[in-house]
Amino acid sequence: MSSSAGRRGSLSRRAFLGTAAVGAVAVGGAAAGGIAVATSGGGGAAPAAPGRGFRGEHQLGVLEQPAPHGLLAAFTCVDPDRETLARTFRELSDELEGLLSGRPAAALDPALPPADNGVLDEVTDPGLMATLSVGASLFDDRYGLAARKPRELVTMPFLANDRLDPRRSHGDLLLVLQGKEPDVCLHALRRVMRRTRANLVLHWLQDAFTRPDAKPRVGQTQSRNLLGFKDGTANPDAGDAELMRRLVWTAGGGEPAWTAGGTYQAVRVVRMLVERWDRAGLTEQEALIGRHKGSGAPLSGTAESEAPRYDDDPDGERTPLDAHIRLANPRDASTRGTELLRRGFSYSRGIDGAGLLDQGLAFISYQSRLAHFLAATDRLRGEPLEEYLLPEGGGFFFVLPGVTRDGDHLGRSLLTGMP
């Protein structure tokens, strides 16, 4: 960078900090975002359509059907101490609240970088969802948070068949953004990164998509994955609040009090060897999964909505004993009450160095106990479907409780220890 460019940079930054005092939440090194809470029309920025809302006991994006587009962004926190980390959470939360609640970006002096990147016509898309979670590494010795670590949160270990790439795994924070269009997610990501650039460094990024059912039913099939099978069929009903309280949301159980309303998030970026899959016979594919490819019905039935039956098939003549769904959930007393809420996305990352398609499933599951996910993984270890899969990234995270009142922000309960 030339020295004049450097000077320009620091001048405009100073000038900006002066202006930012009017309304903008401008804190320390993270001020570059300068998103102001506009009190009137926002000086030229079109009033944004009202968002789905930011506030709630739980964050958005867990129970909801996955949107057509997603972005998984994992960050490393470079805050030097606990105080700055607390500020980063306040800034990040405020930015997300602005984006999700349709708060217009401030009109700043044109000599300054605009508060919004302008990628969208409308500043906020009503379909935007954001889910912020923390990884085990945030509880190391940097911020004195070790005693607050959710009881079961660990760095994702080698699970089954893994080839984890450190450049695509783990992270202090994970932000899952979802929207109806890809640019909705990119817009939000850039706003968040601009606001927190001095404190959060992007560690990995995975874009993702789903093709929602034409006739979605809550808790039921969301789309087909890239193996061509319906994905999400056997999910528990996300519209059943009592069920979700048991299966998904954390409360009590020896967990730190601040975690109430959060949930464990398991992310597995699993590459699919799709060329090999496309050469496997249909009967074999169906036997590997345990369902009919077209209808999504279990091999023991004819309709997708039917529950698989294994009690009258002890030798696996209809549904092989090692079919994915039979291992994942044998539907006996051992797994009752441990069902996972799966909210995965497909991804496509072009081709690898050998000219093979780099596609797969960004598997995401939410559960009140990480042990439920680990038990399912144990049951699936060595499944024949593994021949077509290669887990390459992801991590374990804990989704922060939602924000319900004025003055509260994402991460507040974690930092204060108070629910």
**Which residues, including other chains, have CB under 8 Å from residue 120's CB and lie 6 or more apart?**
183, 184, 187
Instruction: Quote the CA–CA distance of 240 and 260 in Å, as a whole number.
Output: 18
DSSP helix/strand/coil, 318:
coil
**Residue 33: exposed, middle, or buried by beta-carbon count in 10 A (0-12, 13-18, 19+)?**
buried
**Under rule CB under 6 A, residue 223 binds ligand HEM:** no
Q: Using the rule CB under 6 A, give the single segment among 9-17, 86-94, 181-189, 227-235 that binds ligand HEM.
A: 227-235
CA 290, 296, 298, 299 torsion-angle sign: negative
Cβ atoms of 236 and 341 within 8 Å: the answer is: yes
Ramachandran class of 63: left when φ > 0, alpha when ψ lies in -120 to 50, beta otherwise: alpha
Question: Minimum CB separation from ligand HEM for residue 377, in Å?
Answer: 4
Residue 61: closest CA among 154, 131, 137: 131
Residue of the chain from 93, 131, 233, 250 that contacts ligand HEM (CB under 6 A): 233
**Under rule CB under 6 A, residue 268 binds ligand HEM:** yes
Question: Minimum CB separation from ligand HEM for residue 5, in Å?
Answer: 46
Question: Minimum CB separation from ligand HEM for residue 360, in Å?
Answer: 6
Question: Minimum CB separation from ligand HEM for residue 389, in Å?
Answer: 5
Question: Minimum CB separation from ligand HEM for residue 244, in Å?
Answer: 16
Question: Minimum CB separation from ligand HEM for residue 324, in Å?
Answer: 5
**Under rule CB under 6 A, residue 297 binds ligand HEM:** no
Residue 60: closest CA among 119, 105, 103, 101: 101
Contact pattern from residue 270 through residue 289 relative to ligand HEM, giving x for each residue in contact according to CB under 6 A and a dash for the rest? x-x----------------x
Question: Minimum CB separation from ligand HEM for residue 385, in Å?
Answer: 7
Q: Using the rule CB under 6 A, give the single segment among 138-146, 178-186, 370-378, 395-403 that binds ligand HEM.
A: 370-378
**Under rule CB under 6 A, residue 267 binds ligand HEM:** no
**Residue 123: how many CA atoms within 13 Å on its side-chain side?**
28
Report residue 317 as tokens. 């003549």
Ramachandran class of 53: left when φ > 0, alpha when ψ lies in -120 to 50, beta otherwise: left
**Under rule CB under 6 A, residue 234 binds ligand HEM:** yes
Q: Using the rule CB under 6 A, give the single segment among 56-64, 222-230, 238-246, 345-353 that binds ligand HEM.
A: 222-230
Binding site for ligand HEM (CB under 6 A): 225, 227, 229-234, 268, 270, 272, 289, 291, 308, 324-325, 328-329, 340, 361, 363, 373, 376-377, 380, 389
